Chains A and B, each alone.
Chain A
Amino acid sequence: MNKALKGMVHKYDRDNIDTDVIIPGPYLKIHDHKELAMHAMEGIDPKFPEKVSQGDFLVTGKNFGCGSSREHAPIALSQTGIKAVLSPSFARIFYRNAVDGGYLLPIEIDESTVKKISDKDELEINIAQDRITNITKNEQYPMKPFPELIAKIIEAGGLINYKPA
């Protein structure tokens, strides 16, 4: 995974965005990644897939990805082009799926940082330095460092490529 990521923000400023709105239940039978991407965030913004460009970021309120264990959720988001989700907290299975599948980065930021970032801002995220630069606003924000094992799995590009010591 490239350590410096650059992209535009898509901000949905609400807490508890659940997996049923990220990828609604009827699509669980679908396992084609590109087809899933067409329905990403359908329960919150049906136009979402058209708005996203490769490398963009999602910024949301806390407890992102709560609900089901469906790996369809990070798959659908990553297939639209989303490279990282920035939120004060994540539901645990969404977090694991995002990291272990190597789909996207779940980045924990302070609630105050969420407030400072606006929709369509251009960000640069440097995970080697745990630093987020808001290019549009010329601001810098901290991010919570990844725990050691998580950082290694991210570095490896997913759990399958990681070799436990």
Chain B
Amino acid sequence: MTITEKILSRAAGKQRLSPGDVVFAKVDKVMMHDVSGPGVIKVFSEWEKKGIKLDHIWNPDRVWVTEDHFVPAADRVSAENIITLSNFTKKYGINKHFKYGLGQYGICHTLSHEEAMVLPGEVYVGGDSHTNTTGAIGAFAAGLGHTDVAYVLMNGQIWFRVPETMLFKIEGNKPAHIMAKDIILQIIGDIGTDGANYRAMQFAGSVVKRLTMEERLTLTNMTTEAGAKNGIVEPDETTHAYLRERTDAKYSPVNGDPDAHYSEVFTYEIERLEPTVAMPFSPGNISAARDLQGTELDKAYIGSCTGAKLEDLREAAKILKGKKVRIRTEVLPAAQSIYMKAMREGLISIFMEAGAVVGPPTCGACCGAHMGVLGKGEVCISTTNRNFPGRMGHIESKTFLASPMVVAASAVTGKITDPRDVKN
């Protein structure tokens, strides 16, 4: 069995599962945020109207909550959602509630690993489509909607169809100007935005073996953009070392069997991979950055779960150091802890001296909600993960998706730019 099949088998109490089997599996951890949380609370209130008793939940210690989408509160409705969420976590005794302005908080898919909320071998579900991200830690991680999260809060389990696993072997020597973002954009471009529907995307090969945990998280984050149920990387010494720095919790990791069956195997040799950009209006609409050279931009955005981790900020800062940005540039570290690390390393000074505005962790602009939305006709290059029509603001705005290196290089010139073409 593959790692995904083995984790689900264990959680379903079955000796063996095959792709296509539908099972109820026990959940180890569940997450909700200030958008899905109030949605879940609404489902609870509907159920209570039906006479279902909800005076306690399955296990408050396995639930964690963060405030990330509309924070700092974008308006009165957002502020009230935060109050609703806080009342709920208090009522049900959920202690792991990361609140903005009260120490550590940030984007859920960043806290999940930064705070070691999820461990290898676990089944983790969250009320957000990019929950897939956390599969990089060797967990089964999948996004769910409000009803399903509410069901898990009550019952500690949920149904899954066991997915076929597509294996992506990334081989060769990774050039210095290539990041995990380029690799995953290339893959989505190749298989399409429904290329992994209902399936698991597993990443392996010599390049993945050498990738840092944060870079692996970029790969799994964007499996959602190919329609995947989950993205996953088998745990190894990189995983364990990363977790040792963050937790002393014990866990029982799972690895796939040597004779595991993969529905498809793709091999990428990445020596000649180009810095890659996804053009409007699909993450699968890719081009080499150099082929778009000269495309005029209004804004550069370095933020989100997929593009504002510490290493993302470091790579952007290397390019921006001692230079000035030519277009509006916004940098929003993905979590308070990452913001502080970036500050101590001097990265925040580099961004601000270059002219960028540095903001607090939020999903705001990535989903066109607040704090940096695009106006009519504006063109943005962004380290985020989606560029659907209107995703980052006005329906007639445009977003190009790229690695932090490409976004930083483009901020310096004001046009889409390959990082190799920025002079030091």
Shortest CB distance B3–A (Å): 19
B398 in contact (CB, < 8 A): no
Contact: A24 with B368, CB < 8 Å?
A: yes
Decide if A91 touches B227 in the complex (CB within 8 Å). Answer: yes
A115 within 8 A of B: no
A92-B227 in contact (CB<8A):
yes
A153 vs B382: C-alpha distance when bound (angstroms): 40
> Is A83 engaged at the interface, CB distance under 8 Å to the other chain?
no
A21-B388, A67-B129, A164-B24 known; A26 vs B368 contact (CB < 8 Å): yes
A55 at the interface (CB under 8 A from B): no
Pull 29 A–B residue pairs with CB atoms less than 8 Å apart, ordered by A.
A16-B193, A18-B388, A20-B386, A20-B391, A21-B388, A21-B389, A25-B391, A26-B370, A28-B35, A29-B81, A30-B77, A31-B41, A43-B388, A43-B390, A66-B193, A68-B129, A71-B145, A89-B194, A91-B227, A92-B198, A93-B145, A97-B147, A100-B147, A100-B148, A101-B146, A149-B159, A159-B147, A160-B147, A160-B150
Q: Which A residues lie within 8 Å of B156 (CB)?
A: none
Main secondary structure on B side of the interface with A:
loop
Query: What is the chain B residue whose CB lies nearest that of A99?
Result: B147
Partner-B contacts on A (CB < 8 A): 16, 18, 20-21, 24-26, 28-31, 43, 62-63, 66-72, 89, 91-93, 96-97, 100-101, 147-149, 158-160, 164
Separation of A159 and B52 alpha carbons in the complex (Å)? 13
Which chain B residue lies CB-closest to A150? B22
**A93 touching B129 in the complex, CB below 8 Å, given contacts A16-B193, A160-B52:** yes
- Minimal Cβ-Cβ distance residue in B for A95: B198
A31 and B229 alpha carbons, distance in the complex (Å): 26
Assess whether B143 is in contact with A69, with CB atoms less than 8 Å apart: yes
**Closest residue to A149 on the B side, CB-wise?**
B22
By beta carbon, the residue of chain B nearest A68 is B129
Shortest Cβ gap from B30 to chain A (Å): 13
CB of A96 within 8 A of CB of B145, answer: yes
Partner of B369, one of A25, A67, A149: A25
On chain A, the residues within 8 Å of B144 by CB distance are 69, 93, 96
